[in-house]
Amino acid sequence: MPQKKLKLADLAKLAGVSTSTASRALNDNPLIKQETRERIQQLAKTHNFSLNAAASRLRLQKTKVIAVLINLDAETEQSIDDPFLLKVVSDINLAVNRQGYELLLSNSYMAGEDWHGYFIDGRRADGVIVVGQGKQQARIDRASEAGMPLVVWGDPKTEADYVIVGSDNFLGGKVATQHLLDKGCKKPLFLGEPEHAELGERYKGFSDVIEQAGLAEQAQLLKIDITSQAAYDSINRKLRSDGLDFDGIFACSDMVALGAMKALKERYVSIPNDVLIVGFDDIAMADVSFPSLTTIKQDTKKAGELLVEKLLAQLVGEEVSSSQLAISLVERQSS
Q: What, of a second copy, DNA, none, does residue 106 touch, CB below 5 to 8 Å by kind?
A: a second copy
Query: x/- binding map, residues 193-222, to a second copy, per CB under 8 A?
Result: ------------------------------
Number of Cβ within a 10 Å radius of residue 65: 18
Asked if 63 contacts 124 with a C-beta cutoff of 8 angstroms, the reply is yes
**Distance in angstroms (rounded) separating the CA atoms of residues 181 and 116:** 47
Which span sits near a second copy by CB under 8 A: 121-129, 182-190, 272-280, 306-314? 121-129
Write out the binding residues for DNA, residues 54-73 only, by CB under 7 A: 55-56, 58-61
Query: x/- binding map, residues 135-154, to a second copy, per CB under 8 A?
Result: ----------xxx-------
**Distance in angstroms (rounded) separating the CA atoms of residues 82 and 79:** 9
Query: x/- binding map, residues 227-266, to a second copy, per CB under 8 A?
Result: -xx--x----------------------x--xx-xx--xx
**Distance in angstroms (rounded) separating the CA atoms of residues 115 and 146:** 9
Q: In the set 25, 32, 103, 130, which binds a second copy (CB under 8 A)?
A: 103
Write out the binding residues for a second copy, residues 286-325 only, by CB under 8 A: 287-290, 292, 301
Residues 6+ apart with CB under 8 A from 32: 21, 24, 25
Indicate whether 264 belongs to the interface with DNA (CB under 7 A).
no
DSSP 8-state code for residue 290: S
Distances from the Cα of 208 to the Cα of 50, 172, 183, 201, 326, angstroms: 58, 12, 18, 10, 19
User: Does the N-terminal peptide bond of residue 2 adopt cis geometry, omega within 30 degrees of 0?
Assistant: no
Q: What angle do CA 172, 174, 179 make, to 5 degrees?
A: 100
Indicate whether 44 belongs to the interface with DNA (CB under 7 A).
no
Beta bridge partners of 150: 128
User: Does the N-terminal peptide bond of residue 188 adopt cis geometry, omega within 30 degrees of 0?
Assistant: no
Nearest approach, Cβ of residue 4 and DNA (Å):
9
Our CB check for a second copy shows the closer of 18 and 78 to be: 78
Q: What, of DNA, a second copy, none, does residue 14 touch, CB below 5 to 8 Å by kind?
A: none
Query: x/- binding map, residues 66-85, to a second copy, per CB under 8 A?
Result: --x--------xxxxx-x--
Residues 6+ apart with CB under 8 A from 6: 14, 47, 49
Which span sits near DNA by CB under 7 A: 7-15, 68-76, 99-107, 316-324? 7-15
Q: Strands of the chain (E only): list them.
A: 65-70, 102-107, 127-131, 150-153, 163-167, 188-192, 220-223, 248-251, 276-281, 294-297, 323-325, 328-330
Our CB check for DNA shows the closer of 10 and 274 to be: 10
Q: In the set 152, 224, 285, 293, which binds a second copy (CB under 8 A)?
A: 285
Q: In the set 10, 41, 73, 124, which binds a second copy (CB under 8 A)?
A: 124
* Interacting residue ranges for DNA, rule: CB under 7 A: 5, 7-9, 16-21, 23-24, 26-27, 31-33, 36, 51-52, 55-56, 58-61
